[in-house]
Amino acid sequence: MPHTEHTEHPADPGYESSDASARTLLVWGAGLVVVLITAAVTTGLFFNALAAYAKRTDPKVSPLAATESSARPEPRLLEKEPEDLAAVRKDEDQVLRTYDWVDRERGVVRIPIERALELVAKEGLPSRPAARKAP
Q: What is the pLDDT of residues 125-135, one digit of tens each?
A: 877 777 676 66
pLDDT of residue 9: 60
Domain annotation covers residue 42: yes
Q: What is the pLDDT of residues 76-126, one digit of tens each?
A: 788 888 999 999 999 999 989 999 998 999 989 999 999 999 999 998 887
Residue 39 sits in which domain range? 21-57
Nearest to 100 by CA among 114, 89, 112, 118: 112
Tell me if 5 is assigned to some domain. Answer: no
The model's pTM: 0.35
In a domain, residue 51? The reply is yes
Query: Do 7 and 17 contact (CB within 8 A), yes or no?
Result: no
pLDDT at 2 over 60: no
